[in-house]
Amino acid sequence: MIAELAADSGFDWVVFDLEHGCGAEAALLPQLQAIRGSGAAAIVCVGAPHPDLIARVLDWGAADVMIPHVSTVAEAEACVQAAHYPPRGRRGFLRTVRAYGYGLRPPAEGQLPAQLIMAQIETIEAVENAREIAQMDGVDVLFVGPSDLRFDLKARPKLAKRDYAACLKQVAVAAADAGKLCGILIRDAADLPSLRKQDFDWLAVESDVAILRNGYRKLVDGFGALRP
């Protein structure tokens, strides 16, 4: 219900979080079905950068795939190979998966669908390798995971060469120089203009949990003055 409502509300895309969200992988398919035809693209954040997880959500019909904790070129290459068919990658091909209408809409030869591969930059190491990761063929978006990146900067200060703001600039410049897109999750819509100026193109705002929590708290606070 939440997926359907979010998609019908006019968002360009929605993210299904299999890394931190409470829904299991089995719950993904009905959510993808719920937003079909809404105009909102389905981006699935897999639980880990594992080839089987990446290939499966693409077979199920994810428009694009977001992959957490991509910190090195080798990790990025493994993710790209998992998402692409030969000769670029190692993804297995089947005409009857949901992405191809269970066999009703198989792709024409040489016209396989192009899904965006969004590599999440969430560690000090990932920031330092952002330029090389962005230059890889098959990586389309560098997507900053702000909570993990901030946590890593605080947890390992001796390894940090720059503060959080400088890390964002480093990633944005790396993406722009490679002709790639750059994204981030934000909690406050007021941050949108400044991030736009920094060339962040893919901006995810809030989560369903936060929206519900804030709405409930607002109701409770509003009734607080009426309590005896």
Asked if 115 and 62 touch (Cβ cutoff 8 Å), the reply is yes
Q: What is the pLDDT of residues 175-196, one digit of tens each?
A: 999 999 999 999 888 888 999 9
20 classed as catalytic: yes
| pLDDT score at 23 | 83
The rounded distance, in Å, linking the Cα atoms of 118 and 184 is 11
Q: Where are the alpha helices (DSSP H) in the chain?
A: 2-8, 28-34, 51-59, 73-83, 124-128, 130-134, 146-155, 164-177, 192-197, 208-224
Q: For the domain 2-224, what is the CATH code?
A: 3.20.20.60
pTM over 0.85: yes
| pLDDT score at 227 | 66
Q: What is the pLDDT of residues 23-39, one digit of tens each?
A: 889 999 999 999 999 99
Q: What is the pLDDT of residues 86-103, one digit of tens each?
A: 999 999 999 999 999 999
Cα distance from N-terminal residue to C-terminal residue, the chain: 36
User: Phi-psi region for residue 107, left (φ > 0), alpha (ψ -120 to 50) or beta?
Assistant: beta
Largest CA-CA distance found in the chain, in angstroms, rounded:
71
Query: In terms of DSSP bridges, do strands 202-205 and 117-121 run parallel, antiparallel, or are they unpaired?
Result: unpaired
